[in-house]
Structure 1
Amino acid sequence: MGNNKLEVLSKVDLFLLDMDGTIYLGDRLFEGSREFVQLLKENNKEFLFLTNNSSKSSDDYLKKLSKMGIEIAKENLLTSGQATAIYLKSIDQRSAVSAYVVGTQSLKDELKSFGINVVGSIEKEDVDYLIVGFDTELTYKKLLDACKLIRKGVPFLATNPDLVCPLDGGEYIPDCGSICIMLENATKKKPLFIGKPSSIIVDVISKFKNVEKSKIAMIGDRLYTDIKMANDNGMISILVLSGETTYEDVEKFQVKPTLIYNSIKDIYEDLKILYRGVK
Structure 2
Amino acid sequence: MNRIGQKELFLLDMDGTVYLENELIDGAKEFIETLISTGREYVFMTNNSSKSADAYLEKLKKIGLPANEGNIFTSGMAAAIYIKQQKASPKIYLVGTRSLKKELIEQGIEVSEDGSGDIDFVLVGYDTELEYKKLEIACDLLCNGVPFLATNPDVVCPARNKRYLPDCATICYMLEKATGKTPFYIGKPRKEMAMTAIEWKGSSVEKTAIVGDRLYTDIACGKNAGVLSILVLSGESTVDDIEKYGVEPDLICSSVADITPNL
**Short-chain TM bin:** over 0.9
Equivalences, count: 263
Structure 1 residues 27-36 or 250-259, which shifts more? 250-259
**Residue 144 (structure 2) pairs with residue 152 (structure 1):** yes
Tell me by how many angstroms 1:76 deviates. Answer: 0.8
Cα shift readout 1:78-114 (whole Å, capped 9, x = no counterpart):
111111111212222x2x3211100011110111110
Tell me by how many angstroms 1:186 deviates. Answer: 1.6
**Residue 120 (structure 2) pairs with residue 128 (structure 1):** yes
User: Equivalents in 2 of 1:44, 1:87: separation in Å?
Assistant: 31
Counting only pairs closer than 5 Å after superposition, residues 104-253 of structure 1 correspond to structure 2 as 104-123=97-116, 125-253=117-245
RMSD: 1.3
**Equivalent residue for 1:275?**
none
Give SS of 1:247's match: coil
**Equivalent residue for 1:89?**
84
Give SS of 2:65's match: coil
Give SS of 1:131's match: strand
Give the structure-1-normalised TM-score: 0.90
Counting only pairs closer than 5 Å after superposition, residues 12-23 of structure 1 correspond to structure 2 as 12-23=7-18
2:193–2:221 Cα contact (<8 Å) kept = no
User: Equivalents in 1 of 2:10, 2:191: separation in Å?
Assistant: 17
Give SS of 1:154's match: coil
Gap runs ≥5 in structure 2 = none
Between the aligned residues of both structures, percent identity stands at 49
Among 37, 40, 65, the residue aligned to 1:42: 37
User: Equivalents in 2 of 1:189, 1:210: separation in Å?
Assistant: 37
Give SS of 1:10's match: helix
Cα shift readout 1:135-157 (whole Å, capped 9, x = no counterpart):
11111111111111112221211
User: Equivalents in 1 of 2:96, 2:245: separation in Å?
Assistant: 31
User: Equivalents in 1 of 2:216, 2:21: separation in Å?
Assistant: 20
Gap runs ≥5 in structure 1 = 272-279
User: Equivalents in 2 of 1:247, 1:234: separation in Å?
Assistant: 21
Question: Aligned partner of 1:61: which letter?
Answer: Y
User: Equivalents in 1 of 2:57, 2:195: separation in Å?
Assistant: 23
Tell me by how many angstroms 1:17 deviates. Answer: 0.5
**Equivalent residue for 2:72?**
77
Asked which structure has the greater CA Rg, the reply is 1
Query: Where does structure 1 differ by over 3 angstroms across 4 or more consecutive aligned residues?
Result: none
User: Equivalents in 2 of 1:34, 1:11: separation in Å?
Assistant: 21
Give SS of 2:130's match: coil
**Equivalent residue for 2:52?**
57
Tell me by how many angstroms 1:75 deviates. Answer: 1.1
